[in-house]
Structure 1
Amino acid sequence: IERAKKDKKTVVELESMEFQAQVLGGLSDEEGDAMLAQTLSAMKNGEALRDTQFMIDAWKRGDAETLATIMEDIANKDEGSRKTMKSLLDDRNLPMVEKILSMMDSGKRLFIVVGAGHLSGKNSLTDLLRQRGVQVRQIK
């Protein structure tokens, strides 16, 4: 982002920080407690670091299937995780796709950066864009 600004390139947010904060506030106290406990446990036993490294390695290899499997495993740990992953990924992807398509209509060349979780699996940005006839490719 800093380089884009330095090069006087336009930087546009797909979502505001306020919207992202609202997404995280949608859990019940019980779901939040369960997810926090699971997250702390995963950090303590090294599972979080391992999962993160597996995700990085899968994305570097262009292995979207493995990345999707890892994301599904994380989402299916408990109800809070399922609800959060749905809110963080699935519920946000369609509005992001609509904004991307709108920006594409401008005819300008775009470089779009999002978190890896948005890029693999059913209803991912790549899946939704391909459904709309957009060519999507990973740059290595």
Structure 2
Amino acid sequence: MLNFVRSILLGTALGLAAPAMAQTAPAKLPDTDPALWVVKDSDTTVYLFGTFHALDGKTDWFNDEVKAAFDRSSKVYFEIVKPENPAEMAPLVQKYWMATDGKPLTSKLSEKGKKDLAAALASVGGTTAMVEPMKPFAASMVLAALGMQKVGKTGEQGAEAVITAAAKSSSKPVDQLETMEFQMQLFDKLPEAEQIKMLEHTAATFGDMEQTFAKMTKAWNNGDAEGLAAMMNEMETQSPAMHQLMLTGRNATWAKWIEERMKTPGTVFVAVGAGHLAGKNSVQDYLAKSGIKTARVKY
């Protein structure tokens, strides 16, 4: 598999992994400008903001046009709205994360995969026992979340968390395009061989996570949609099935939702993972196929 898969995994995994300590932010944060698009007609405006699910709180991105677009909007939409009480997720975790074939996870891995997984978990103070009852995709999610915590990036400081807090403080309603169960079902639909490939890759490259996400967050902070598109192209090349299931298909669905939403007057702010708004078959591409134009908001 490939490195960008990790950012997709984080959308769900960071809501379920053990909480991490928040980083202490400096008094003055460097300004960054992640990409923002807008779809408009005579009486409707839909802002499209590409998020990064886990951040370190060391940049000031929720300002300028992003903040202005948020302020103009009467409602915010996310991919999912995670429940405030993590206990509500327990039934879904049991249903979708836990293997039902009675086989331990490591029995499905190659010898190298077993060693890489054990080493990766040991580097963050864990053991394979914590993921042994899980399906391979679930173990990948846990490993990705633990790795992000290791390098100081947490969901607590991710874009969705910041925007959610702002919506709450301003009494702005929030809604979701999908549900947590739907996202878990997507991963669960992946053939087991594909799940194993994903887990073994994540374990084998665990030590490179800091460098990988430094590259990704730099592109996000700079609004480098082309850089993110290159990562999308890599994903499509290496795993067409993953690309179709996790990105292309959902992008088409969201574009249809936006097309319908344009029939209702008002201004809304739609925040989804940045990968969905970059590269071929992005949300913008599907909107264009329906004759709907998107424009990049200039800072």
> With structure 2 as the length reference, what TM-score do the two structures score?
0.41
Checking the alignment, whether the CA contact within 8 Å between 1:118 and 1:125 is kept in structure 2 is: yes
Q: Which amino acid aligns with 1:11?
A: V
**Does the alignment pair 1:19 with 2:182?**
yes
Which of 94, 99, 103 is 2:252 aligned to? 94
Alignment partners' CA distance in 1, 2:298 and 2:171: 22
Partner of 2:269: helix, strand, or coil?
Answer: coil
Distance 1:58 1:105 in 2: 33
Deviations 1:29-74 (A, max 9, x none): 2211111001111213x0x433322222223323222211122224
Mapped to 2, the partners of 1:129 and 1:88 lie a distance apart of 18
Higher helix share: 1
Question: Counterparts of 2:265 and 2:250 in 1: how far apart (Å)?
Answer: 24
Aligned partner of 1:113 in structure 2 is 271
Matched AA of 1:72: N
Aligned length: 135
Higher strand share: 2
Q: Distance in 1 between matches of 2:263 and 2:168?
A: 23
- Structure 2 unmatched ranges of 5 or more: 1-163
Map of 2:293 onto structure 1? 134
Deviation at 1:2, TM superposition (A): 2.7
Cα RMSD, aligned residues only: 2.1
Deviation at 1:21, TM superposition (A): 0.9
Give TM-score scaled by structure 1 length.
0.82
- Which one scores higher on RCO, CA 8 angstroms, separation ≥ 6? 2
- Alignment counterpart, residue 196 of structure 2, candidates 19, 29, 33: 33
Larger Rg: 2
Structure 1 unmatched ranges of 5 or more: none
User: Hey, what's the Cα distance between the residues in 2 that align with 1:76 and 1:49?
Assistant: 24
The residue matched to 2:189 in structure 1 has which SS? coil
- For 2:270, give the aligned amino acid: I
Identity of aligned residues (%): 34
